[in-house]
Amino acid sequence: MSAADAAPLDADGFSNLMAPFAPFELTPEVAVAVSGGRDSLALALLALEWTGARGGRAVALIVDHGLRPESAAEAAETLQRLAGLAIDGIVLRWSGAKPGTRLQEAARSARYRLLSEECRRRGILHLLVAHHAEDQAETVRMRADRESGADGLAGMAALVEFPEMRLLRPLLPVSRARLTATLVARSVRWIDDPSNTDPRFERARLRLRGHTPPGSCLLPSEAGEERAYRERQLAHAAVEAVEFDEAGQAAVDRTGFARLDSALQARLLSRLVQRIGGRDHPPRRDRLERAAARLAQPAAGRGKSGRGQDFTLSRCRLLLRQVPWSPGLRWLVRPEKGETAAQPLVPAAFFACGAAANNHLQ
């Protein structure tokens, strides 16, 4: 590791990291997701300095998932520490019963729901999260292990646009060592989350195996440019082949879908089922490609209803049905158990450049 990779991140360096996300308001107000760990605390401090220099304001949002007996006390300690640093904060609590399976997926969904709702309530357009270079490398490694396609292997997007806010990841090029040094230079203490080394969770198991050494975590700059190009492709494909309704259901036009090349068909279907089903990762490549080929077959339906062709993929049901606005059959994509979609579906934001569904929300 070079000296630069372990040097504290200063105000000018952070300003350069924020520049690609412009424009901002004249007096920008941002929210920062803070866990109490070193990464998010460093981000909160840097965001405070950045907004303060522009006459704006930063507020810290602390999510208490309630998954450990100590979590409430840790959230309160983090709130107190932030106050000592002149950073306003609030604790958001995930209340109610917790699922017995897919706990991390449920916690992630609850976390972003709470953060999004608080941003909407406060009228804040920019939510900053502290994913850094090692997080990015771990994400790419996990997706490679799952045989993800090009979207997954491009890693997390630096910018994700939603109807109610923009999610920004300014620290993706920054090593964790630099974030640690940033806090040490300011004599700021932090809390290490035990879940980071809990072998029940995939990311923790990866860290324990040591498959992501420091220094191997930066992706080539071309990856971001390639992702932007693919996202533009995907946006055009969605306009041609997909319609949405307010219940969180997507209708895929078979003719428009069949006109796309096979790789784009798979990426479009992957994006749909990830978002509607609320999964943390895309379907396995073999299942996804078979499903996309099925949607593209012009003679898939039998009779007027298309019933008998239905199947499931990644917690979604795909049904070949007649729709009121079209004389032909369309593939409807909806949550498997009939509930509303796991994430809001607004085409412009859903398929905007950088809005890589779960690419994403980790």
pLDDT of 351 over the 70 cut = no
For residues 280-284, average pLDDT: 78
187 and 246 together in one domain: no
Range 251-257 average pLDDT: 91
| 8 A C-beta contact, residue 207 and residue 213 | no
User: Average pLDDT of 49-58?
Assistant: 97
Point out the domain boundary residue: 156, 184, 209.
Answer: 209
Q: How confident is the model at residue 1 (pLDDT cuts 50, 70, 90)?
A: low
Asked if residue 191 and residue 44 are part of one domain, the reply reads yes
Looking at 209, 237, 267, the residue that finishes a domain is 209
- Which residues are bridge partners to 302 per DSSP? none
The answer on pLDDT for 183 being more than 90 is yes
**pLDDT one-digit tens code per residue, 128-154:** 999 998 888 887 776 666 655 555 445
Whether 228 has a pLDDT exceeding 50, the answer reads yes
The reply to whether 191 and 253 lie within a common domain is no
pLDDT band at 353 (very low <50, low <70, confident <90, very high): very low
Q: What is the pLDDT of residues 315-340, one digit of tens each?
A: 899 999 888 776 778 999 999 875 54
Q: What would the mean pLDDT of 86-115 be, rounded to a whole number?
A: 90
pLDDT at 204: 46
Are 69 and 93 in the same domain? Answer: yes
Residue 6 per-residue DSSP state: G
The answer to the question of residue 253 being in a domain is: yes
CA nearest 24: which of 55, 61, 70? 55
How confident is residue 121, by pLDDT bands cut at 50, 70 and 90? very high
Q: Where are the alpha helices (DSSP H) in the chain?
A: 11-18, 38-52, 71-84, 103-122, 133-145, 150-153, 176-185, 202-209, 221-241, 254-258, 262-277, 285-296, 347-350
> What's the pLDDT at 171?
95
Q: For 22-34, what is each residue's pLDDT tens digit?
A: 999 999 999 999 9
Instruction: Supply the CATH number for residue 190's domain.
Output: 3.40.50.620
Cβ(282)–Cβ(358) below 8 Å: yes
192-205 pLDDT tens trace: 765 554 444 454 44
Indicate whether 216 belongs to any domain. no
Among candidate residues 153, 185, 209, the one where a domain is terminated: 209
Whether 140 is in a domain gets the answer: no
Residue 271: inside a domain: yes
62 and 36 co-located in one domain: yes
Q: Do residues 39 and 171 lie in contact, with contact meaning Cβ atoms separated by under 8 Å? A: yes
Residue 156 lies in a domain: no
| 117 and 259 both lie in a single domain | no
Same domain, 24 and 173: yes
The predicted model gives 87-102 an average pLDDT of: 90
Q: Is residue 146 part of a domain?
A: no
Q: Do residues 149 and 267 make contact, with C-beta atoms less than 8 angstroms apart? A: yes
The confidence score (pLDDT) of residue 346 equals 39
The single-letter DSSP state of residue 283 is P
> Residue 223's pLDDT is what?
52
Percentages (nearest 5) of helix, strand, coil residues in the chain: 45, 15, 40
Q: What is the pLDDT of residue 145?
A: 61
168 DSSP β-pair partners = 128, 159
Q: Which of 80-94, 157-171, 207-221, 292-306 has the highest mean pLDDT?
A: 80-94
Q: Are 15 and 88 found together in one domain?
A: yes
Range with the poorest average pLDDT among 55-64, 69-78, 209-218, 306-315 = 209-218
Domain containing 287 equals 221-359
Same-domain check for residues 70 and 194:
yes
Please tell me the distance from the alpha carbon of residue 275 to that of residue 258, in angstroms, as a whole number: 21
Same domain, 195 and 279: no
Task: Give the pLDDT of residue 190.
Answer: 87
* Cα 44 from Cα 59, distance rounded (Å): 8
Whether the Cβ atoms of residue 269 and residue 263 lie closer than 8 Å to each other: no
Interval 111-121 mean pLDDT: 94
Same domain, 178 and 237: no
Cα 42 to its chain centre, rounded Å, is 20
Q: What is the mean pLDDT of residues 72-90?
A: 95
Q: How many domains does the chain have?
A: 2
pLDDT grade, residue 14 (50/70/90)?
Answer: very high
Residue at 149 is within a domain: no
Does 152 fall in a domain?
Answer: no
| 186 and 266 belong to one structural domain | no
